[in-house]
Amino acid sequence: MFNDTICALATAAVESGIGIIRISGPEAVQIASKFIRSKSGKAVDISKSHQVKYGFVYSENDPLDEVLVITMLGPKSYTGEDTVEIDYHGGVLMMKKIIDVALNNGCRLAEPGEFTKRAFLNGRIDLSEAEAVGDLITSENEFALKASINQLRGSVSDNIKRYRAQILEDLAYIEAGLDDPEHIDISGFTGTLSEHITSIKNDLSYMISSADDGKMLKEGIKTVILGKPNAGKSSLLNSLVGTDRAIVTDVAGTTRDTLEEHINLKGVSLTIIDTAGIRDTQDTVEKIGVERALEAANNADLIIYVVDSSIRLDESDYKIIEKIRDRKCIVLLNKTDLIQILDQKELEELTGKKVIPFSAKTSVGIDKLESEIHELFFSNSISFNDQIIITNLRHKNCLINAEGSLNEVLNSINLGLPEDFFTIDLMHAYEELGYILGEEVSEDLINEIFSKFCMGK
Amino acid sequence: MAFVEESYDVVVVGAGHAGCEAALACARLGLETIVFTVSVDSIALMPCNPNIGGSSKGHLVRELDALGGEMGKNIDKTFIQSKMLNKSKGPAVHSLRAQADKQAYTREMRRTLENQEHLTIRQAEVSEVLTIDLGDGLKKVTGVKTTSGAVYKGKSVILCTGVYLNSRCLTGDLIEYTGPNGLRSATHLTDSLIDNNVRMFRFKTGTPARVDKRTLDFSKFEVQKGDVPIIPFSFSSDFDSIQKEQVDCWLVYTNENTHNIIRNNIDRSPMYNGSIEGVGPRYCPSIEDKVMKFPDKDRHQIFIEPEGLYTNEMYLSGMSSSMPEDVQYDMYHSMEGFENVHIVRNAYAIEYDCIDSTQLKSSLEFINIDGLFAAGQFNGSSGYEEAAVQGLMAGINAAMKLLDRPAVILDRSQAYVGVLIDDLVTKENFEPYRMMTSRSEYRLLLRQDNADLRLRKIGHDIGLISDEEYQKTLNKINLINAEIERLKNTFVSNSDSVNDFLIRNNSNALNSGASLADLIKRPELDYELIKEIDINRPSLPYLVREEVGIEIKYEGYIKRQLSQVEGFKRLESKRIPDGIDYNEIKNLRLEARQKLSRIKPENIGMASRISGVSPADISVLLIYIESYKNIKS
């Protein structure tokens, strides 16, 4: 029924020990065979249905992960099509890498709810569940679309909009000239077009290469910095971010609202939320700030608790310690450049968390903090919103497709083909970039032609 | 007093380019047909530009001809200049355009209609479409009534009323309630359609002035010659016998003075002072639109085209306007060579009623009115060629229905005709619709040169193409295939003579053998060029050689488009059952539900092209249809 082969994560991308990546479609076995090999790099026969095979996922010639592979030939599979499921060793990074390999070998990234849709259309799911399937598709699509747009960094979406506008204008110019050759002469435009396309293509290549370290996305691991007023939260944020976005003063309670920063820490994308200091306050504005801080902490993937080592713990600290009990948290013992009143060991016992001595002023301990976060990420101790990774994969996929289409345009230009041969691929690039922004194409081209170019008669 | 005058199989209302094709198709398929016109003298009238074809419109005419329509044959008999546009571009956008002798065109088409068996011509204004109620909001057409009260029964009725419904012409503040050229407008039919729950739109278009040739200074203009040799429109026309002496067209430019006159009087243009209600086409802007919307352009091209061989009237292409007469005079006088110009007919804008074409099926029959078909500008399109192909398809489908045969629906991968009709019936269209090559996704496949290869068989199956004509196409296909085979299997070695030829043509010399087909694919070479090293080349007709060259040279691109078509066909083949209630599908978003309910697409592909219907909606719809099928079975 469907002639393309799709691939996606079949389990949630949370901190599970193992995950399952599913490949479904007529070429599932053929595609998986290309990158599943034995430890020594030999082919593994995965063509038999309902057998478990042991092997390695290879990216080009490098083994990525040790996996178990289960082939289920249609109709005896979840989707009713030939299906290959790959059990890998968990970890979001590995998941991304394996899906990348599958995409490079000819799969298409599954749309939200697509496995279930195929299962239904292939008669694998009962009719009574039709509505539930519809619900699932609608909600997953809505979520994906929202995520896609919301998570995109402002600068990234601005750039993509710019590329699209340029492509559309060039496209419209060519089409206007083809439609009305007597009024609009496009001869000699090829050189300009080639320049435009080369420049956009180079930008896209850069975006693709940086897509993996999360530069495209606004959201990262949601990290909240908690602590009493003047414990040094803002200074910490500043030393992490390297800018002075948070105002750092010695007056307690300066940071009244929450501030967000997105930083990239050795390939891990963090969204750091600086919060108002926690303490009992009568100041209404500050009170709102404190509430927000606690709320932000509730939704955080990671909490960094900053403690002023030069003063005693008080009621507010105990409140925070209560809050972080069952959470992923790193405790920073700040102001180690001053006289120490609090002891690292004492605090470790009290909180049950790792405590890192730190000085925002002298930057002592910042490396340790970074590597601790990094370790937490790679060992997957941090709960992670899998949608973000999927969105990123999708974006990257669109960028790769757009880049491919632009390459085709340059190819056609180099072959000296006439202008009308460029337009098919230009349109594809335009569409692919549009998917990232969640935009429909429909009448864009016609509208652009009429608004920019003065047609005949 | 109403009285039954006569009974027919098919009643065609209007004898413009759509009506003529519709009437001819039905009559030629053996159905008793009557065609109504407000004036027999205006059959196949060309009230605007004096040409047939042009970018993408040339494709339509070729396709119409392949299917068995008349326009291509008629222009081949009456053209006075012919040109292939875009020759420096790819083969997909080559487009034939011919200047017509308007009088001759009209006369020739009228003669064809008058001599067509089973066809009756009647001058009268149709005021009512007669229907009976079938319940459930459905109706069935039974005939028409004229203003004199005469009832003409018809099993099918095809409406091709052009721009005549409640039309009014505007020249400045002068408003005349007529159709084009002062012909009477039809003032009753709109009400009858509204009574039948048809949704109406109001559109606008315009035409430039006609001027006296003797009052122009041609030494100031650039001459525009026709092509030699002349390529015929019709696949049935004989190449040699249509070669003839051609007339010239001319090119002149507006200037800053012209633009100032327009800017200074802009408040006197009905387009700008609000007296026009209708929506005009953006592709064919009036000169005042061009000046106001593109202030950076310091001049605009105006083509001066003869209206025929036996008239001094010249058409000013690019200068349509609704300015008052005195401003028009000032505008023209400001142009070089126009200092003493005399206007024969003023430029004017025209407003008219047309329908929201999403009320139609792909067969051009109304979804809710059985047996009632519609074609041409009445459907909100613009242009003679767009009208003609719709007329042909409406005629064919009205006939197919009466003959109890399946409707003929061309899809977007088969023909521009398919793109045009699909756009009209699925996309909401808020201005007069004009064909453009950019509207076609698969234009590399839908070339004007291969329209016969694509569509002749369909025309033959319908019954509008004779066995003899069809055999000619089959022979052509055989010649093409044999020649392509031969070129793929003929190898040349890296001999001195071959390499000498290659080097002379700036192509890399061969190190080993290569097929002739491989050489044709090189950017700097083509089929005609390599003739020198193709010793055993058979002598073939031009149209075969052209086809062979294109199919080999662009093989890779053509294959890519063919694979895209496969994906497209999969969605097109998923039919949406009649009577589906979109309000029952709760997962559809509200906008999608409303649009789908109104437009009633016939298959999933069409549904996916409706703006406001998202991919997720399509998934939901697919799932619903699947379960709907199971419930019904």
- What is d(CA B598, CA B611) in angstroms, rounded to the nearest whole number? 13
Tokens for A154, please give them.
């402002």
Q: What is the distance in angstroms between the Cα of B300 and the nearest Cα belonging to chain A? A: 8
Q: What is the pLDDT of residues B311-321, one digit of tens each?
A: 999 999 999 99
Q: What is the distance in angstroms between the Cα of B189 and the nearest Cα belonging to chain A? A: 31
Confidence (pLDDT) at A382: 41
**Is the domain of A100 the same as that of A209?**
no
Please indicate whether residue A221 or residue B72 has the higher confidence score (pLDDT). Answer: B72
Closest in B90, B524, B611 to A442, CB measured: B611
- What is d(CA A422, CA B611) in angstroms, rounded to the nearest whole number? 26
DSSP E strand stretches across A309-420: 329-334, 354-357
> A425 near A417, Cβ under 8 Å?
no
Neighboring chain B residues of A179 at a CB cutoff of 8 Å: 55-56, 283, 436-438
In a domain, A131, yes or no: no
Is the CB of A456 less than 8 angstroms away from the CB of B301? Answer: yes
Q: What is the distance in angstroms between the Cα of B436 and the nearest Cα belonging to chain A? A: 6
Q: Write the single-letter amino acid at A381.
A: S
Of A443-457, B296-310, B397-411, which gets the smallest average pLDDT? Answer: A443-457
Mutate to test the interface with A, among B97, B595, B619, B629 (most CBs of A within 10 A): B619
Local structure of B369: helix, strand or coil? strand
Neighboring chain A residues of B293 at a CB cutoff of 8 Å: 454
Confidence (pLDDT) at A86: 93
With an 8 Å Cβ cutoff, is B293 touching chain A?
Answer: yes
**CATH number for A301:** 3.40.50.300
- What is d(CA A160, CA A216) in angstroms, rounded to the nearest whole number? 11
Binned at pLDDT 50, 70 and 90, residue B631 comes out as low
Q: CA nearest B300 in A: which residue?
A: A183
**Is the domain of A353 the same as that of A251?**
yes
Q: Write the single-letter amino acid at B483.
A: E
- ipTM higher than 0.85? yes
> A201 near A217, Cβ under 8 Å?
no
Is the CB of B615 less than 8 angstroms away from the CB of A415? Answer: no
Confidence (pLDDT) at A150: 55
Closest in A141, A178, A450 to B283, CB measured: A450
In a domain, A139, yes or no: no
Last residue of a domain, one of A346, A378, A410: A378
Q: Is A269 exposed, middle or buried (0-12, 13-18, 19+ CB in 10 A)?
A: buried
Q: What is the pLDDT of residues A185-242, one digit of tens each?
A: 888 899 999 999 999 999 998 888 777 655 444 445 678 888 877 777 777 777 776 6
In a domain, A341, yes or no: yes
Closest in A120, A440, A445 to B438, CB measured: A445
How long is chain B?
A: 633
Of A380-384, B508-512, B588-592, which gets the smallest average pLDDT? Answer: A380-384
Q: What is the distance in angstroms between the Cα of B317 and the nearest Cα belonging to chain A? A: 5
**Is the domain of A367 the same as that of A419?**
no
In a domain, A457, yes or no: no
Closest in B85, B317, B622 to A181, CB measured: B85
Neighboring chain A residues of B616 at a CB cutoff of 8 Å: 112, 137-138, 141-142
Is the CB of B55 less than 8 angstroms away from the CB of A440? Answer: no
Closest in B86, B439, B587 to A134, CB measured: B587
Confidence (pLDDT) at B416: 98
Q: For chain B, give the mean pLDDT.
A: 94
Residue in B569, B199, B201, B203 with CA at minimum distance from that of residue B367: B199
Neighboring chain A residues of B556 at a CB cutoff of 8 Å: none
**Is the domain of A357 the same as that of A390?**
no
Residue in B367, B405, B375 with CA at minimum distance from that of residue B393: B375
With an 8 Å Cβ cutoff, is B559 touching chain A?
Answer: no
In a domain, A47, yes or no: yes
State phi, psi for B508 to the nearest 5 degrees.
-65, 140
Q: What is the distance in angstroms between the Cα of B19 and the nearest Cα belonging to chain A? A: 25
Confidence (pLDDT) at B26: 98
Closest in A111, A133, A178 to B623, CB measured: A133
Tokens for A170, please give them.
């060039």
Tell me which residues of chain B, numbers 340 to 379, contact chain A at a CB-CB cutoff of 8 Å. Answer: none
- What is d(CA B418, CA B416) in angstroms, rounded to the nearest whole number? 5
Q: What is the pLDDT of residues B492-502, one digit of tens each?
A: 999 999 999 99
- What is d(CA B37, CA B55) in angstroms, rounded to the nearest whole number? 30
With an 8 Å Cβ cutoff, is B27 touching chain A?
Answer: no
Is the CB of A455 less than 8 angstroms away from the CB of B283? Answer: yes
Confidence (pLDDT) at B419: 97
**CATH number for A199:** 1.20.120.430
Neighboring chain A residues of B93 at a CB cutoff of 8 Å: 178, 418, 420
With an 8 Å Cβ cutoff, is B320 touching chain A?
Answer: yes
**Is the domain of A209 the same as that of A229?**
no
DSSP code at position B178: B
CA A100 vs. chain centroid, Å, equals 13
Local structure of A343: helix, strand or coil? coil
**Is the domain of A225 the same as that of A346?**
yes
Confidence (pLDDT) at A121: 80
**Is the domain of A396 the same as that of A374?**
no
**Is the domain of A156 the same as that of A181?**
yes
With an 8 Å Cβ cutoff, is B105 touching chain A?
Answer: no
Is the CB of A130 less than 8 angstroms away from the CB of B626? Answer: yes
Is the CB of A179 less than 8 angstroms away from the CB of B438? Answer: yes
- What is d(CA A437, CA A150) in angstroms, rounded to the nearest whole number? 9
Instruction: Tell me how far CA of residue B294 lies from CA of A453, B245, B286, B299, B324, in angstroms.
Output: 8, 38, 12, 10, 22
Q: What is the distance in angstroms between the Cα of B97 and the nearest Cα belonging to chain A? A: 12
Is the CB of B557 less than 8 angstroms away from the CB of A421? Answer: yes
Of A243-252, A308-317, B187-196, which gets the smallest average pLDDT? Answer: A243-252
Is the CB of B623 less than 8 angstroms away from the CB of A134? Answer: yes
What percentage of chain B carries pLDDT values higher than 90? 85
Is the CB of B301 less than 8 angstroms away from the CB of A419? Answer: no
Tokens for B147, please give them.
């203003």
Neighboring chain B residues of A416 at a CB cutoff of 8 Å: 523-524
**Is the domain of A186 the same as that of A109?**
no
By DSSP bridging, strand A108-109 and strand A6-9 are parallel
Range of the domain at A21: 6-125
Q: CA nearest A183 in B: which residue?
A: B301
Half-sphere exposure of B531 (CA within 13 A, CB side): 8
Is the CB of B437 less than 8 angstroms away from the CB of A178? Answer: yes
With an 8 Å Cβ cutoff, is B624 touching chain A?
Answer: yes
In a domain, A431, yes or no: yes
- What is d(CA A112, CA A391) in angstroms, rounded to the nearest whole number? 10
Is the CB of B283 less than 8 angstroms away from the CB of A423? Answer: no
CB atoms within 10 A of CB B117: 9
Confidence (pLDDT) at B109: 98
CB atoms within 10 A of CB B364: 31
Q: What is the distance in angstroms between the Cα of B340 and the nearest Cα belonging to chain A? A: 23
What percentage of chain B carries pLDDT values higher than 70? 99
Local structure of B347: helix, strand or coil? coil
**Is the domain of A281 the same as that of A163?**
no
Q: What is the distance in angstroms between the Cα of B424 and the nearest Cα belonging to chain A? A: 13
Provide the angle, in degrees to the nearest 10, between the axes of the packed helices A154-179 and A422-437.
150
What percentage of chain A carries pLDDT values higher than 90? 26
DSSP code at position B89: S
State phi, psi for A225 to the nearest 5 degrees.
-95, 120
Most confident option among A250-259, A442-451, B140-149: B140-149
Confidence (pLDDT) at A154: 64
Locus of tokens 């491919």: A404
Q: What is the distance in angstroms between the Cα of B469 and the nearest Cα belonging to chain A? A: 32
Q: CA nearest B292 in A: which residue?
A: A454
DSSP E strand stretches across B347-407: 348-355, 369-370, 372-374
Last residue of a domain, one of A378, A404, A421: A378
**Is the domain of A374 the same as that of A239?**
yes
Of A263-272, A444-453, B208-217, B251-260, which gets the smallest average pLDDT? Answer: A263-272
**Over residues B280-296, mean pLDDT:** 86
Binned at pLDDT 50, 70 and 90, residue B575 comes out as very high
Mutate to test the interface with B, among A178, A405, A414, A422 (most CBs of B within 10 A): A178
Residues 6+ apart with CB under 8 A from B297: A454, B290
- What is d(CA B288, CA B320) in angstroms, rounded to the nearest whole number? 8
Instruction: Tell me how far CA of residue A156 lies from CA of A167, A200, A208, A436, in angstroms.
Output: 17, 13, 12, 10
With an 8 Å Cβ cutoff, is B303 touching chain A?
Answer: yes
Confidence (pLDDT) at B253: 96
- What is d(CA A5, CA A23) in angstroms, rounded to the nearest whole number? 7
Q: Is A159 exposed, middle or buried (0-12, 13-18, 19+ CB in 10 A)?
A: middle
**Over residues A43-69, mean pLDDT:** 91
Q: What is the pLDDT of residues B145-191, one digit of tens each?
A: 999 999 999 999 999 999 999 999 999 999 999 999 889 999 999 99
DSSP E strand stretches across B359-513: 369-370, 372-374, 491-492
In a domain, A1, yes or no: no
Neighboring chain B residues of A445 at a CB cutoff of 8 Å: 438
With an 8 Å Cβ cutoff, is B444 touching chain A?
Answer: yes
In a domain, A437, yes or no: yes
Neighboring chain A residues of B570 at a CB cutoff of 8 Å: 3
Is the CB of B623 less than 8 angstroms away from the CB of A454? Answer: no
Residue A105 has pLDDT above 80, yes or no: yes
Instruction: Tell me how far CA of residue A199 lies from CA of A399, A433, B594, in angstroms.
Output: 14, 15, 43
How long is chain A?
A: 457
Last residue of a domain, one of A378, A394, A420: A378
Of A6-20, A199-213, B207-221, which gets the smallest average pLDDT? Answer: A6-20
**Is the domain of A96 the same as that of A161?**
no
**CATH number for A71:** 3.30.1360.120
* Helix (H) and strand (E) counts in chain B: 20, 23
Long-range contacts of residues B591-600, Cβ cutoff 8 Å, at least 24 apart: B592/B617, B596/B621, B598/B358, B599/B358, B599/B425, B599/B426, B599/B428, B600/B367
How many independent structural domains does chain A possess?
A: 3
- What is d(CA B305, CA B208) in angstroms, rounded to the nearest whole number? 11
Residue B399 has pLDDT above 90, yes or no: yes
- What is d(CA B276, CA B203) in angstroms, rounded to the nearest whole number? 10
Is the CB of B523 less than 8 angstroms away from the CB of A415? Answer: yes
**DSSP for B12-57, written as a single string:** EE--SHHHHHHHHHHHHTT--EEEEES-GGGTT---S-SEEE-TTH
Q: Could you give the domains of chain B?
A: 3-206+352-462 (3.50.50.60), 210-350 (2.40.30.260), 479-564 (1.10.10.1800), 574-632 (1.10.150.570)
With an 8 Å Cβ cutoff, is B430 touching chain A?
Answer: no
Closest in B284, B557, B627 to A127, CB measured: B627
Alpha helices, DSSP H, located in B265-370: 270-273, 287-293, 325-333
Q: Write the single-letter amino acid at B215.
A: T
**Over residues B421-450, mean pLDDT:** 93
